[in-house]
Amino acid sequence: MQFTAEQIAEALEGTVEGNGEVTVTNVSKIEEGKTGTLSFLANSKYTKYIYETNASIVIVNNDFKAERPFKTTLIRVKDAYMAFATLLNMYEQSKPRPIGIDSQVSIHESAKLGEKIYIGPFAVIGKNSTIGENVQIHAQVYIGNNVTIGAGSILFPGVKVYENCIIGKEVVIHAGSVIGSDGFGFAPRNHQEFLKVPQIGNVIIENYVEIGANTTIDRATMGSTIVREGVKLDNLIQVAHNVEIGSNTVIAAQTGISGSTKIGKDCMIGGQVGFAGHLEIGNETKIGAQSGLAGNVKESGKTLLGTPATDYSIQRRAMILQSRLPEIWHRLNDLEQRVQENEIIEE
Protein backbone atom coordinates (compact mmCIF):
# COMPACT_ATOMS: atom_id res chain seq x y z
CA MET A 1 0.00 0.00 0.00
CA GLN A 2 1.08 3.57 -0.67
CA PHE A 3 0.77 6.49 1.76
CA THR A 4 1.72 10.14 1.62
CA ALA A 5 3.49 12.04 4.38
CA GLU A 6 0.29 14.00 5.00
CA GLN A 7 -1.75 10.81 5.45
CA ILE A 8 0.79 9.35 7.89
CA ALA A 9 1.03 12.61 9.85
CA GLU A 10 -2.75 12.74 10.18
CA ALA A 11 -2.84 9.17 11.53
CA LEU A 12 -0.12 10.01 14.07
CA GLU A 13 -1.38 13.50 14.94
CA GLY A 14 1.97 14.85 13.79
CA THR A 15 3.15 17.71 11.57
CA VAL A 16 4.93 17.51 8.22
CA GLU A 17 8.17 19.34 7.55
CA GLY A 18 9.01 19.12 3.85
CA ASN A 19 7.08 17.60 0.94
CA GLY A 20 3.72 16.44 2.26
CA GLU A 21 2.93 14.62 -0.99
CA VAL A 22 5.94 12.33 -0.97
CA THR A 23 4.86 8.68 -0.83
CA VAL A 24 6.18 5.51 0.81
CA THR A 25 5.34 1.84 0.30
CA ASN A 26 7.65 0.20 2.84
CA VAL A 27 9.69 0.80 6.01
CA SER A 28 13.44 0.75 6.64
CA LYS A 29 16.08 1.38 9.29
CA ILE A 30 17.34 4.94 9.08
CA GLU A 31 20.93 3.85 8.38
CA GLU A 32 19.70 1.67 5.49
CA GLY A 33 16.96 3.98 4.24
CA LYS A 34 15.91 3.73 0.60
CA THR A 35 13.74 5.94 -1.56
CA GLY A 36 10.08 5.11 -1.04
CA THR A 37 10.51 3.93 2.55
CA LEU A 38 9.53 5.29 5.96
CA SER A 39 11.95 5.34 8.89
CA PHE A 40 12.19 6.90 12.35
CA LEU A 41 14.76 8.57 14.63
CA ALA A 42 14.29 8.03 18.36
CA ASN A 43 17.82 7.28 19.61
CA SER A 44 20.34 10.15 19.50
CA LYS A 45 23.07 7.65 18.56
CA TYR A 46 21.52 7.46 15.10
CA THR A 47 21.13 11.20 14.53
CA LYS A 48 24.04 11.30 12.07
CA TYR A 49 22.11 9.09 9.65
CA ILE A 50 19.30 11.58 9.15
CA TYR A 51 21.65 13.78 7.13
CA GLU A 52 22.54 10.97 4.71
CA THR A 53 19.54 8.60 4.67
CA ASN A 54 17.65 8.00 1.44
CA ALA A 55 14.42 7.23 3.28
CA SER A 56 11.67 9.41 1.85
CA ILE A 57 10.05 10.09 5.24
CA VAL A 58 11.53 10.02 8.73
CA ILE A 59 9.49 10.28 11.94
CA VAL A 60 11.27 12.40 14.58
CA ASN A 61 10.50 13.84 18.00
CA ASN A 62 9.08 17.34 18.17
CA ASP A 63 12.24 18.65 19.81
CA PHE A 64 14.60 17.41 17.06
CA LYS A 65 16.88 20.22 15.84
CA ALA A 66 18.83 19.73 12.63
CA GLU A 67 22.47 20.82 12.66
CA ARG A 68 22.94 20.69 8.88
CA PRO A 69 20.82 20.21 5.72
CA PHE A 70 18.97 16.97 5.01
CA LYS A 71 16.92 15.75 2.05
CA THR A 72 14.17 13.67 3.69
CA THR A 73 10.67 14.77 4.68
CA LEU A 74 10.12 14.86 8.44
CA ILE A 75 7.03 14.02 10.44
CA ARG A 76 7.31 15.54 13.91
CA VAL A 77 5.51 13.76 16.74
CA LYS A 78 5.60 13.67 20.53
CA ASP A 79 7.30 10.24 20.67
CA ALA A 80 8.91 8.95 17.46
CA TYR A 81 9.43 5.39 18.69
CA MET A 82 5.85 5.04 19.90
CA ALA A 83 4.53 6.58 16.67
CA PHE A 84 6.50 4.13 14.54
CA ALA A 85 5.29 1.22 16.68
CA THR A 86 1.73 2.46 16.23
CA LEU A 87 2.15 2.44 12.45
CA LEU A 88 3.55 -1.08 12.47
CA ASN A 89 0.61 -2.23 14.57
CA MET A 90 -1.81 -0.62 12.13
CA TYR A 91 -0.07 -2.44 9.28
CA GLU A 92 -0.10 -5.76 11.14
CA GLN A 93 -3.79 -5.44 11.93
CA SER A 94 -4.59 -4.67 8.29
CA LYS A 95 -3.24 -8.04 7.16
CA PRO A 96 -5.94 -10.67 6.60
CA ARG A 97 -6.30 -13.23 9.42
CA PRO A 98 -6.44 -16.90 8.43
CA ILE A 99 -9.78 -18.60 9.02
CA GLY A 100 -10.71 -22.26 8.77
CA ILE A 101 -9.92 -25.69 10.17
CA ASP A 102 -7.39 -27.87 8.38
CA SER A 103 -8.44 -31.40 7.52
CA GLN A 104 -5.43 -32.87 9.33
CA VAL A 105 -6.35 -31.96 12.91
CA SER A 106 -7.50 -33.88 15.96
CA ILE A 107 -10.32 -32.16 17.85
CA HIS A 108 -12.18 -33.97 20.63
CA GLU A 109 -15.92 -34.01 20.09
CA SER A 110 -16.53 -32.31 23.44
CA ALA A 111 -14.37 -29.28 22.60
CA LYS A 112 -16.17 -25.97 22.10
CA LEU A 113 -15.00 -23.88 19.17
CA GLY A 114 -15.75 -20.18 18.63
CA GLU A 115 -16.49 -18.45 15.36
CA LYS A 116 -13.93 -17.30 12.79
CA ILE A 117 -11.13 -19.43 14.20
CA TYR A 118 -8.11 -20.91 12.47
CA ILE A 119 -6.68 -24.36 13.31
CA GLY A 120 -3.63 -25.43 11.33
CA PRO A 121 -2.47 -28.91 10.27
CA PHE A 122 -1.64 -31.54 12.92
CA ALA A 123 -3.00 -29.44 15.78
CA VAL A 124 -4.57 -31.34 18.69
CA ILE A 125 -7.38 -30.06 20.93
CA GLY A 126 -8.33 -32.14 23.96
CA LYS A 127 -11.68 -32.90 25.50
CA ASN A 128 -13.78 -30.20 27.16
CA SER A 129 -11.46 -27.44 25.94
CA THR A 130 -12.91 -24.09 24.90
CA ILE A 131 -11.52 -22.02 22.04
CA GLY A 132 -12.79 -18.44 21.78
CA GLU A 133 -13.72 -16.59 18.62
CA ASN A 134 -11.02 -15.29 16.27
CA VAL A 135 -8.39 -17.54 17.87
CA GLN A 136 -5.50 -18.72 15.68
CA ILE A 137 -4.01 -22.13 16.45
CA HIS A 138 -1.15 -22.83 14.07
CA ALA A 139 0.40 -26.09 12.94
CA GLN A 140 1.37 -28.78 15.48
CA VAL A 141 -0.05 -26.95 18.49
CA TYR A 142 -1.12 -29.25 21.33
CA ILE A 143 -3.95 -28.16 23.62
CA GLY A 144 -4.72 -30.54 26.47
CA ASN A 145 -7.99 -31.34 28.20
CA ASN A 146 -10.06 -28.66 29.94
CA VAL A 147 -8.05 -25.77 28.51
CA THR A 148 -9.64 -22.38 27.91
CA ILE A 149 -8.28 -19.94 25.31
CA GLY A 150 -9.79 -16.46 25.11
CA ALA A 151 -10.93 -14.56 22.04
CA GLY A 152 -8.35 -13.24 19.61
CA SER A 153 -5.40 -15.19 21.00
CA ILE A 154 -2.68 -16.57 18.72
CA LEU A 155 -0.69 -19.74 19.33
CA PHE A 156 2.16 -20.12 16.86
CA PRO A 157 3.51 -23.47 15.61
CA GLY A 158 4.56 -26.06 18.16
CA VAL A 159 3.08 -24.44 21.27
CA LYS A 160 2.06 -26.94 23.96
CA VAL A 161 -0.63 -26.14 26.52
CA TYR A 162 -1.16 -28.76 29.21
CA GLU A 163 -4.50 -29.67 30.79
CA ASN A 164 -6.56 -27.25 32.90
CA CYS A 165 -4.61 -24.13 31.88
CA ILE A 166 -6.44 -20.87 31.26
CA ILE A 167 -5.33 -18.37 28.61
CA GLY A 168 -7.02 -14.98 28.35
CA LYS A 169 -7.99 -12.92 25.34
CA GLU A 170 -5.57 -11.33 22.85
CA VAL A 171 -2.69 -13.44 24.15
CA VAL A 172 0.22 -14.21 21.80
CA ILE A 173 2.35 -17.31 22.44
CA HIS A 174 5.27 -17.82 20.08
CA ALA A 175 6.61 -21.04 18.62
CA GLY A 176 7.85 -23.81 20.86
CA SER A 177 6.64 -22.42 24.17
CA VAL A 178 5.30 -24.83 26.79
CA ILE A 179 2.53 -23.77 29.17
CA GLY A 180 1.67 -25.93 32.15
CA SER A 181 4.39 -28.57 32.25
CA ASP A 182 5.27 -30.03 35.66
CA GLY A 183 7.01 -27.81 38.15
CA PHE A 184 10.40 -28.98 39.42
CA GLY A 185 9.26 -30.66 42.62
CA PHE A 186 11.19 -33.52 44.22
CA ALA A 187 11.36 -34.50 47.89
CA PRO A 188 14.67 -36.06 49.05
CA ARG A 189 13.87 -39.55 50.32
CA ASN A 190 17.47 -40.38 51.22
CA HIS A 191 20.92 -39.49 49.98
CA GLN A 192 20.39 -41.22 46.66
CA GLU A 193 16.68 -40.97 45.83
CA PHE A 194 14.14 -38.24 45.26
CA LEU A 195 10.38 -38.67 45.41
CA LYS A 196 8.54 -36.73 42.71
CA VAL A 197 5.93 -34.35 44.11
CA PRO A 198 2.87 -34.37 41.82
CA GLN A 199 2.09 -30.95 40.38
CA ILE A 200 -1.70 -30.74 40.42
CA GLY A 201 -2.23 -27.01 39.82
CA ASN A 202 -2.41 -25.08 36.57
CA VAL A 203 -1.23 -21.93 34.77
CA ILE A 204 -3.37 -18.82 34.34
CA ILE A 205 -2.32 -16.31 31.68
CA GLU A 206 -4.41 -13.17 31.76
CA ASN A 207 -5.37 -10.88 28.86
CA TYR A 208 -2.97 -9.11 26.47
CA VAL A 209 0.10 -11.14 27.46
CA GLU A 210 2.83 -11.93 24.92
CA ILE A 211 5.17 -14.89 25.43
CA GLY A 212 8.32 -15.35 23.35
CA ALA A 213 9.55 -18.47 21.60
CA ASN A 214 10.66 -21.48 23.67
CA THR A 215 9.62 -19.95 26.97
CA THR A 216 8.37 -22.40 29.61
CA ILE A 217 5.81 -21.70 32.33
CA ASP A 218 5.37 -24.52 34.86
CA ARG A 219 2.07 -25.52 36.43
CA ALA A 220 1.66 -24.91 40.15
CA THR A 221 2.17 -27.63 42.71
CA MET A 222 -1.21 -26.54 44.08
CA GLY A 223 -3.21 -23.51 43.00
CA SER A 224 -1.96 -21.53 39.99
CA THR A 225 1.12 -20.08 38.38
CA ILE A 226 -0.15 -16.66 37.27
CA VAL A 227 0.99 -14.27 34.55
CA ARG A 228 -1.01 -11.07 35.01
CA GLU A 229 -2.52 -8.84 32.35
CA GLY A 230 -0.22 -7.08 29.91
CA VAL A 231 2.98 -8.97 30.81
CA LYS A 232 5.57 -9.30 28.01
CA LEU A 233 8.00 -12.22 28.19
CA ASP A 234 10.94 -12.61 25.83
CA ASN A 235 12.28 -15.86 24.35
CA LEU A 236 13.85 -18.61 26.48
CA ILE A 237 12.49 -17.64 29.88
CA GLN A 238 11.83 -20.17 32.65
CA VAL A 239 8.91 -19.44 34.98
CA ALA A 240 8.71 -22.03 37.76
CA HIS A 241 5.74 -23.41 39.69
CA ASN A 242 3.55 -21.03 41.72
CA VAL A 243 5.31 -17.92 40.42
CA GLU A 244 3.22 -14.79 40.00
CA ILE A 245 4.23 -12.01 37.60
CA GLY A 246 2.47 -8.68 38.10
CA SER A 247 0.65 -6.78 35.38
CA ASN A 248 2.59 -4.94 32.65
CA THR A 249 5.94 -6.34 33.74
CA VAL A 250 8.47 -6.96 30.94
CA ILE A 251 11.21 -9.61 31.17
CA ALA A 252 14.08 -10.12 28.71
CA ALA A 253 15.49 -13.41 27.44
CA GLN A 254 17.10 -16.20 29.45
CA THR A 255 15.77 -15.04 32.79
CA GLY A 256 14.98 -17.79 35.31
CA ILE A 257 12.39 -17.36 38.07
CA SER A 258 12.42 -19.99 40.81
CA GLY A 259 9.31 -21.39 42.44
CA SER A 260 6.81 -19.29 44.43
CA THR A 261 8.51 -15.97 43.68
CA LYS A 262 6.11 -13.02 43.37
CA ILE A 263 7.14 -10.22 41.01
CA GLY A 264 5.24 -6.94 41.24
CA LYS A 265 3.57 -4.93 38.50
CA ASP A 266 5.28 -2.55 36.05
CA CYS A 267 8.72 -4.12 36.61
CA MET A 268 11.49 -4.14 33.98
CA ILE A 269 13.86 -7.11 34.13
CA GLY A 270 16.93 -7.51 31.91
CA GLY A 271 18.26 -10.64 30.27
CA GLN A 272 19.79 -13.57 32.18
CA VAL A 273 18.51 -12.41 35.57
CA GLY A 274 18.24 -15.18 38.16
CA PHE A 275 15.66 -15.23 40.97
CA ALA A 276 15.89 -17.51 43.98
CA GLY A 277 12.66 -19.08 45.19
CA HIS A 278 9.98 -17.63 47.47
CA LEU A 279 11.01 -14.00 46.88
CA GLU A 280 8.83 -10.89 46.84
CA ILE A 281 9.77 -8.19 44.32
CA GLY A 282 8.12 -4.79 44.68
CA ASN A 283 6.26 -2.87 41.99
CA GLU A 284 8.19 -0.84 39.39
CA THR A 285 11.47 -2.59 40.18
CA LYS A 286 14.16 -2.38 37.49
CA ILE A 287 16.83 -5.10 37.38
CA GLY A 288 19.90 -4.99 35.15
CA ALA A 289 21.01 -7.89 32.95
CA GLN A 290 22.80 -10.87 34.54
CA SER A 291 21.82 -9.84 38.05
CA GLY A 292 21.13 -12.41 40.74
CA LEU A 293 18.48 -11.93 43.41
CA ALA A 294 18.61 -13.95 46.61
CA GLY A 295 16.52 -11.70 48.86
CA ASN A 296 13.26 -9.79 48.87
CA VAL A 297 12.87 -6.34 47.32
CA LYS A 298 9.81 -5.04 49.10
CA GLU A 299 10.30 -1.33 48.41
CA SER A 300 8.77 -0.16 45.12
CA GLY A 301 10.73 1.61 42.40
CA LYS A 302 14.19 0.20 43.20
CA THR A 303 16.85 -0.09 40.47
CA LEU A 304 19.19 -3.04 41.03
CA LEU A 305 22.28 -4.49 39.41
CA GLY A 306 24.84 -7.23 40.03
CA THR A 307 25.11 -10.49 41.97
CA PRO A 308 23.95 -10.31 44.63
CA ALA A 309 21.78 -7.51 43.26
CA THR A 310 22.21 -4.19 45.06
CA ASP A 311 21.27 -0.58 44.45
CA TYR A 312 22.35 0.47 40.96
CA SER A 313 24.37 3.51 42.08
CA ILE A 314 26.27 1.47 44.69
CA GLN A 315 26.96 -1.33 42.22
CA ARG A 316 28.22 1.11 39.60
CA ARG A 317 30.69 2.62 42.08
CA ALA A 318 31.81 -0.86 43.08
CA MET A 319 32.40 -1.77 39.43
CA ILE A 320 34.52 1.36 38.95
CA LEU A 321 36.56 0.51 42.03
CA GLN A 322 36.94 -3.07 40.86
CA SER A 323 38.41 -1.88 37.55
CA ARG A 324 41.01 0.06 39.56
CA LEU A 325 42.05 -2.87 41.77
CA PRO A 326 45.31 -3.61 39.88
CA GLU A 327 46.36 0.04 40.24
CA ILE A 328 45.39 0.09 43.93
CA TRP A 329 47.27 -3.19 44.54
CA HIS A 330 50.45 -1.80 42.97
CA ARG A 331 50.18 1.34 45.07
CA LEU A 332 49.69 -0.67 48.27
CA ASN A 333 52.55 -2.96 47.38
CA ASP A 334 54.78 0.05 46.77
CA LEU A 335 53.78 1.61 50.10
CA GLU A 336 54.44 -1.68 51.92
CA GLN A 337 57.94 -1.87 50.43
CA ARG A 338 58.67 1.73 51.41
CA VAL A 339 57.47 1.11 54.97
CA GLN A 340 59.69 -1.95 55.24
CA GLU A 341 62.69 0.02 53.91
CA ASN A 342 62.09 2.78 56.48
CA GLU A 343 61.90 0.21 59.28
CA ILE A 344 65.24 -1.28 58.23
CA ILE A 345 66.88 2.15 58.14
CA GLU A 346 65.55 3.03 61.63
CA GLU A 347 66.93 -0.24 63.01
Confirm if 212 and 174 have CB atoms less than 8 A apart. yes
DSSP 26-52: EE--GGG--TTEEEEE-SGGGGGGGGT
* C-alpha closest to that of 264 among 284, 250, 240, 279: 284
Counting Cα atoms < 13 Å in the Cβ hemisphere of 53 gives 27
Contact partners, residue 292, CB within 8 Å, separation at least 6: 273, 274, 306, 307, 308, 309
- Taken as a whole, the chain contains a residue count of 347
- Residue of 108, 138, 174, 241 marked active site: 241
Q: Is 241 a catalytic residue?
A: yes
Confirm if 231 and 215 have CB atoms less than 8 A apart. no
Taking the C-alpha atoms of residue 291 and residue 285, their distance in angstroms, rounded to an integer, is 13
For residue 336, give the amino acid letter. E
Query: Using only C-alpha atoms, what is the Rg of the chain?
Result: 27
Q: In angstroms, what CA-CA distances link 119 with 116, 164, 169, 179?
A: 10, 20, 17, 18
Contact partners, residue 166, CB within 8 Å, separation at least 6: 147, 148, 202, 203, 204, 205
Q: Is 114 exposed, middle or buried (0-12, 13-18, 19+ CB in 10 A)?
A: middle
Confirm if 262 and 242 have CB atoms less than 8 A apart. no
Phi/psi region, residue 312 (left: phi>0; alpha: psi -120 to 50; beta: rest), is alpha
Taking the C-alpha atoms of residue 284 and residue 286, their distance in angstroms, rounded to an integer, is 6
Residues labelled as active-site residues: 241
